[in-house]
Each structure stands twice: as structure tokens, then as C-alpha cells.
Chain A
Amino acid sequence: DGGITQSPKYLFRKEGQNVTLSCEQNLNHDAMYWYRQDPGQGLRLIYYSQIVNDFQKGDIAEGYSVSREKKESFPLTVTSAQKNPTAFYLCATRQGSYEQYFGPGTRLTVT
């Protein structure tokens, strides 16, 4: 897990509510990423940010939003527009072309 913190580890929400997942890093890495992991599927990229105050949509950005106001923080908001929000969410960081480091993940359950 290194210097990446995701909180909380488990999160429960009612359908129709927005929820924000936290990702903080002390690795001083420029790039940060959000992935979603579902059973039987590979990780899918939601959003990524290569520098502060800039972010790009990944493959499955619909129903999600992010911000990157500080280098060490990249929060992900799961909105009510996301049809199937229940999943395991992973935050990752990377410096340059080196490998990605992953956080411990947050398991979100929406009922």
C-alpha cells in the first residue's frame, strides 16, 4: 500500500445519495488514478490526473466526478447517476513512466 491512504475501507450508502471516496498520498507522485474492480473483470479506469488542477476521463467516467486541488489528494465522488455503484474502488499513483502504486481500496455498497 505504501504511502497511499484510502478511507474508509468499507462504505455503505442508500441509492440516490452521492458519496465521496478519499485518496491521499505522501509519495509526491504527480499522477493519480481511480479504478473500479468488479468480480470477474479487470480493473477499469474511471478518471486520472497527471498534474494538479487537471484531470481526464477514463474508460468509465459516467456517473463519477473528481477534483485535484492538491497534489496529495484526489477524491472521487460517486453520484446518483452511476447505475451500478457497488464495487471495489482503487486509487493509484505514478511518477513518470514508473510503475503504479495502489492504495488499499474502498469497498462501496449501495442499497
Chain B
Amino acid sequence: KNQVEQSPQSLIILEGKNCTLQCNYTVSPFSNLRWYKQDTGRGPVSLTIMTFSENTKSNGRYTATLDADTKQSSLHITASQLSDSASYICVVSARDGGATNKLIFGTGTLLAVQP
């Protein structure tokens, strides 16, 4: 069964600190992995997308890693800001043989950055 599991479920950190969010998946055949940021009451916004051959990708203070062998990904946030408070969702795309890949969503990690 295709699944995406994220940890921790929630996290509280102080402003300026770093943190790392984890994503483990059992999706096959794998196409790509995305990290989304979702502010409360808003739609998710893409942070990064990683394909099978990519190990690391950065977007400002966000750095995503992918280990396709162990089927794990992480999202590292550097020098956190209050505006980083949001839910971070890992989404894995599975090739289903059709024109549109199937997306499997994790339940998200709720991050709270405190001053």
C-alpha cells in the first residue's frame, strides 16, 4: 500500500533555531517528492520538488534531502522565523501509467515558532 508518514506530528521551536522534519514513504513506482507549506486556513504552497536522482535541493532557508534507497526525505529549516509557523506536508508522486501521476499526501508536521 502506498503510504507517506511524517514525523514529528508537531514541533515547537524558538525563533532563530534550526529544525528538521522527516518524511518516510512506501510508494512505488516513485516519480517525485514534494514538500509543501500550508499556513492555517490557506492552500498548500510548494517549497521544493525532488526527483529520483536528486539528493539535496535548497530554497532559501529550506533544504530538502532525498534518500531514494531508504525512501526517506527530510526538510531542514535554518534560522527559523515566526512566519515559518505552518503545517509542512510531504507529497509523493507515484507513476500510475496514465497521463497524471497519483499523489500520496502525508498528514503533515505542524511547526510553531515562538519568539
Contacts from A to B (Cβ < 8 Å): 1, 4, 6, 9, 31, 40-45, 48, 50, 88, 90, 92, 94, 97, 99-105, 107
Inter-chain contacts of A43 with B (CB < 8 A):
44, 89, 105
A31, A94, A101, A105: the one contacting B42 at CB < 8 Å is A105
Chain B residues with CB under 8 Å of A104's CB are 42-43
B69 to chain A, nearest CB (A): 24
Interface string of B34-50 (1 = CB under 8 A from A): 10100001111110010
Roughly how many angstroms separate A102 CA and B42 CA in the complex, as a whole number? 9
Find out whether the CB atom of B43 lies under 8 angstroms from the CB atom of A102: yes
Size bin of chain B's contact surface: 20 to 34
Determine the distance from Cα of A56 to Cα of B99 in the docked complex, in whole angstroms.
13
Chain B residue at minimal CB-CB distance from A38: B107
In the assembled complex, the Cα of A48 lies from the Cα of B96 at a distance in Å of: 15
A99 touches B49 (CB 8 A): yes
Q: What is the CA–CA distance of A81 and B4 in the complex, to the nearest angstrom?
A: 30
Which 6 pairs show the lowest CB-CB distances between chains A and B? A102-B43, A42-B105, A43-B105, A42-B107, A102-B44, A104-B43
Which residues on the B side are within 8 Å of A31 (C-beta)? Answer: 100
- Give Cα distance in the complex from A9 to B36, angstroms: 21
Supply 11 further A-B pairs (C-beta < 8 A) apart from A42-B104, A103-B43, A107-B41: A42-B105, A42-B108, A43-B44, A43-B89, A90-B43, A94-B100, A97-B100, A99-B46, A102-B43, A102-B45, A105-B42
Q: Which residues of B contact A4 (CB under 8 A)?
A: 43
A-B contact count (CB 8 A): 46
Q: Do residues B105 and A50 form an inter-chain contact, with CB atoms below 8 A?
A: no
23 A/B residue pairs, CB under 8 Å, sorted by A: A1-B42, A6-B43, A31-B100, A41-B107, A42-B106, A42-B107, A42-B108, A43-B44, A43-B89, A43-B105, A48-B100, A50-B99, A50-B100, A90-B43, A94-B100, A97-B100, A99-B34, A99-B46, A99-B49, A100-B103, A102-B43, A105-B41, A107-B41
